[in-house]
Amino acid sequence: MGWLTPEEWGAVRLSLEVALRSVAMGLPPAILAAWLLARARFPGRPLLDALVHLPLVMPPVVVGWLLLVTFGVRGPIGAVLNEWFGVRLVFTTEGASLATAVMAFPLIVRAVRLSLESVDTGLEAAARTLGAGPLDRFATITLPLMAPGILAGGITAFAAGLGEFGAVITFASNIPGETQTLPLAIYAATQTPGGEATAARLALVSFALAVGGLLLAEAVARRMWRLLGRAAPS
């Protein structure tokens, strides 16, 4: 991308890094949450469902503020991390990844849950009668069958993470080279006199990455469904 300056390319590279980290952070708890919502029955299930999907309906700035209150150096969790382990999330790349992961979390849960709900429970029951334990059934039957949802959810969350703005700028600020992702770089360019050309170039890159990510998620999911010999859910 020779038509981008080193600073602009740095923002693109940082966006890819933050989005990738956010998926890695969010995928394991998202799989657990999806399994609980799809298979478990417990009194607090509606509340868990609401909490999981809360980032979809709350303003991203509010999510970022809640993260700041919780994980800031004076927050209940942030203070412990900072004083005991020397880990500071606020105004860091790791903090930007955390904010992005929280915002993308419901997307992964929804994709994994839909995939899990389409798994034939009769296969798991048959494995149980043959002596397979819960972990064996999950690892050999459930997990492979829900893999299309996991991959599609992860890629969709990655694409969405590339465009996250409100939560990141509130929790991690807009620090070039540290937390200035692609959307924040576009915002900074629009606030700079004569920055229209920079904003246009970065917006074009953002559009291409987002479309590419969504198309890849759809293609991967359908490919996995075909490999498993099942019809993709509409």
129 half-sphere exposure, CB direction, 13 A CA radius: 5
Q: What is the pTM of this model?
A: 0.88
Closest Cα partner for 61 from 99, 117, 18, 113? 99
Domain ranges of the chain: 6-225
Contact between 179 and 91 under an 8 Å Cβ cutoff? The reply is yes
User: What digits encode the pLDDT tens for the residues 151-208?
Assistant: 888 988 998 999 999 999 999 999 999 999 999 999 999 998 988 999 999 999 999 9
- The topology under which CATH files domain 6-225 is MetI-like fold (1.10.3720)
The overall average pLDDT reported for the chain is 89
118-141 per-residue burial string, b: 16 or more CB within 10 A, e: under 16: bbeeeebeebeeeebeeeebbeeb
- Kindly report, residue by residue over 13-49, the tens digit of the pLDDT: 999 999 999 999 999 999 999 999 988 888 888 999 9
Q: How far apart are the first and last CA of the chain?
A: 37
119: number of CA atoms within 13 Å, CB side? 25
